[in-house]
Amino acid sequence: MNMKFGTTLKNCRHLMECAKELNVQIVGVKFHVSNPCMESQAYKHAISDARCVFDMAEEFGFTLNMLNIGGGFIDHELDLEEINRVIIPLLDTYFPEESGVNVIAEPGCYYVSSAFTLAVNIFAKKAVQSGDPLLSKLEQTQNDEPVFIYYMNDGVYGSFASKLSENLTTIPEVHKKYKEDEPLFASSLWGPSCDELDQIVENCLLPELNVGDWLLFDHMGSGSLGEQPALNDFQRPPIYYVMSIHNWCEMQDAGFISDTLMKNFCFVPSCIQLSSEDSFSIAA
């Protein structure tokens, strides 16, 4: 039951028939629009299809009272407002309040999609010239400057798991001091697995980095910190969670006091300045 499953609108009648034969009560409909889908119109089709299923259920004597519009909402307010603009009129039309249908959603991913700043360590680097077959078209430069390929200790089979289903637009911050006039080079960032899918950032401009330097990725969270299996004998690095004492006290006040839940957290004295999110996860 840990696998996603569902059916098409065409097959719903067959499922209704089976449920009737097995004396199984159907109470509602759930759909899910994954976060890589940027088309708000997908909700329009899904809600209208759900209405068809509700009508179909009445023919079989079922009384449905639950509609779950799923999760997958992304963390951009403008996109959420656009989805809201599409959903509300449809719900008023197909599932008005007097219908008695409870409409719920699963916005957990939305709330924690920017919960952390992730710090990763560079363990290898490679300098290649423009025209090298290792480089994609986006990574080719117009001059003879080298393109740097950096390998980090975490990738898509770890904290960047969401990169497998959506584009990562965040450009990392270099966690070291460098001169303002220091030259920037075309750079490509990869995870440790040697898998061609394990490319985190295809092309960005960074100062030349060294092995051992740290990069900070903002807006990390949902779908990026779950346990992932090892690949190609690369074990995922341990993750250490860091927060301010102020946030720790707020979590305790909110009831998060489980030793098991908080065992990997460490604290930062108030004299140390954190980012605006005030929470870090470190792949060490």
Write out the catalytic residue numbers. Answer: 194
Among residues 101, 96, 120, which one has the least CA distance to residue 27? 101
3-state DSSP assignment of residue 205: strand
**Rounded to an integer, what distance in angstroms lies between the CA atom of residue 30 and that of residue 71?**
10
**Cross-strand bridge partners of residue 104:** 68
3-state DSSP assignment of residue 53: helix
CB 64 within 8 A of CB 28: yes
C-beta contacts of 77-84 below 8 A and 24+ residues apart: 79/38, 79/40, 80/110, 82/40, 83/40, 83/43
**Cross-strand bridge partners of residue 151:** 124, 190
Beta strands in 129-273 (DSSP E): 147-152, 173-174, 185-190, 199-206, 214-220, 239-244, 265-268
